[in-house]
Structures are given as C-alpha cells and as structure tokens.
Amino acid sequence: MKEILVDIDLKEKEEYIINIGPQHPSTHGVLRLETCLQGEEVKYIIPHCGYIHRGIEKMSEKLTYPQLLHLTDRMDYLSAHINNEAVALCVENAMEVQVSERVKYIRTILAELSRVASHQLWWAAFGMDLGALTTFFYGLRDREKILDIFEESTGSRLIQSFITPGGLMSDIHPNFQKRVKDFIKYFRTKLPEYDDLLTGNVIFRERTQGIGILSKEDAIDYGVTGPSGRGSGFHCDIRKIAPYSAYPLVEFNEITFAEGDTYHRYLVRMKEMWESLNIIEQLIDNIPQGEIMLNLKAIKAPKGDYYQRVETARGELGVYIVSDGGPSPARIKYRSPNFSNLFVLNKISAGHKIADLVAISGSLDLVIPDIDR
C-alpha cells in the first residue's frame, strides 16, 4: 500500500493518466484502473472498485439463510454453485448437522463442473485479451455443454441457487450422470485443441512468458489465492488444505508452478481443467442413494461466530457469520478471492507495457461483481 501512496504524490505532477474502465473491453466488467503511463510503459495503477457495489453483505442481515443464499450467486457468478456451497456448509456447521453422502457427491460434482465452465470462459476471454479472437467462440462452445447439464438438473444456467443449507433444492435429473460422462469424453478431445490454438503459439508464449512475475512471498503477502496464487508456488488449494464435501474421498493433484508469470498462471488453469475432469470421473459413477434435503424444522444458526472457506474457481472464498441465534445473521462477511487478487495488479504490472497490463489482469481472472459485492 505504501508504494501506492507514494505514487499518488507523484500524480500531482504532469503525468499521462489514462482511465482503463469503468467501460473497457478488457476489464471484463465495471472496474476502473487509473493507469499512469510513460509512453507505452505503465508506471503505476490505482484500481478503483465500487462501481457495482450492491451491498450484498448488508442486505443479507435482513434475510434468512435460505434467502441470502440467492445473493451469493451474484457475487462470483461464474462459480455460483461453489458460493452457494460455502454458505450452506457454514450454516450446516453452525447447526451441527450432516448432509447425506449423496448430497456431498452431487455438490462436489456440480462444483467441479462449474470450475471447468469458469476456466473455459476465462480461457476464451484471455485469448481475446491477447487479440486471438477465435478462442472466445471455442471456449463458449464447450461451456454451453456444461450449462445445458446445469439447466437440466437445476433449472437454471448461470445463477442456480441449487445448493442450500441442509442439502439440495431438488434431486438431479435422471440424465445427469450420462450427460456428464458424455461431456467428460467430449471435453477430453477438445482440451488438446485449446493447446493447439493458443498454448503452443509462439506469439502467445512471447506475450506471456516472464511477464508479470508474482513471487511466492508477494502472493502470500497480498493473499493471492486460487490458480493465480498456485502459479507462484503458493500451496493454497482449500480442497487439499481443509477438504470439505466429497473432496477427502477423491484423488487429485494440486497444480503449482514456481515461476509465477502470466504463462504459468495460464498453465495452472489449463491443467486444473484436466484435474477437475478426473475428480468428476471418480465420483460420477458412485453417487450413493440418500436423502436430498435434511428435514430441518428451522434453519437458525446458534449464537456465535462461524467461518467456512471453500475453493472457488478463482481462489479462497471465506464466509464469516456472526449469529445472535435468529433466523438471519447479525453480520455476514465474505472474504472474496478477487478482491485480494486485484490489488496485486499494481505490484506485478508496473514497469510493463500497456499490452502486458491487459494480459496480466486477464491472467488474474477477475470477476468484478465479486470484488465489490
């Protein structure tokens, strides 16, 4: 933070300040980056957030737990299932109830599917940030298959509100298992195509390798989690550190790289898609029978403080609930991954070209509504 303050003093002098955003193709939302340039070179960036602040945390204080769940979809809309799961797990822990194995399996499968969908969209948009426009259509083509699976089972494509405290809204569709298996088979043939189009490209490698290097120490200092943190060698996968739902039952690798540049942040996500497919494959055939929704009289957390963290597609999402024993929380706080990931941008892109700034912010995979909440 200190460097930023020093730079603000510099701003008094005549400098070439350019506002990237709030409306700009490469900020992927209403984020404003006040960028100081020297020619093509970025001197510093001051991110301004708050353009899409909806007061989700304050609003939640007036809502019951099953109601406030629907607001969590709107934070990181690309991993809506995982956000739901975080609140559901937190409330279940507070009430000290255990959901059935079936629910745990389905939750994990849905979470991994949304992770794949999120990474697909990220890949699509990242290519576009770098000027390779065709990736966008490839990514969306395959994401559509996952959204169709979601639609069939949950009734909704983007913001499902499917995972609730106590279980699931409804049972999965009879076709679910078959379609997911079909998707895994299909997507395993498509992932090498992604590599052919972008990963192996010389221009792409030149644009990303050695750009925006984030050291492990900085990643820990700034709290950069998720694939962005793992690209710097920071072991921060909550699925490994504090397994929840069905993650203790599956085998998968935590992908980390020591390099910490844009290219390795990219590789982490590409490899995570393979891992997610493996996780789903281990679970999809073994979904046990069991009840879908616990028969709870009232969903009330007892008086006290509760914290639950989960791994979303972008990093660690923490839910902190302060309860006074009533049906709605006295105070709720989300520790959203994107907020922490955004503020490392100044650190890693200062001194690079303006084109690199776009690549770096793309590689951090920011979802703006999650920053502001």
Residues of the shown chain interacting with other proteins in the complex, contacts defined by CB under 8 A: 16, 18, 24-26, 37, 40, 127-134, 136-138, 141, 197-198, 201, 203-204, 206-207, 353-358
Using alpha carbons, list the distances in angstroms from residue 370 to 31, 75, 351: 11, 4, 27
Strands 32-38 and 41-48 turn out to be antiparallel
Task: State how far the Cα of 119 lies from the Cα of 270, in Å rounded to an integer.
Answer: 8
Using alpha carbons, list the distances in angstroms from residue 316 to 159, 229, 232, 285: 19, 10, 15, 28
Amino acid at 204: F
Task: Return the H-helix or E-strand segment holding 349.
Answer: helix 345-349
Considering beta carbons, is residue 203 or 258 the nearer one to other proteins?
203
Considering beta carbons, is residue 139 or 226 the nearer one to other proteins?
139
Q: Is the dihedral of CA 278, 280, 283, 285 positive or negative?
A: negative
Of 313, 306, 301, nearest to 338 by C-alpha is 313
Considering beta carbons, is residue 94 or 368 the nearer one to other proteins?
368
Considering beta carbons, is residue 133 or 242 the nearer one to other proteins?
133
Considering beta carbons, is residue 134 or 170 the nearer one to other proteins?
134
Tokens 């942040």 belong to residue: 265
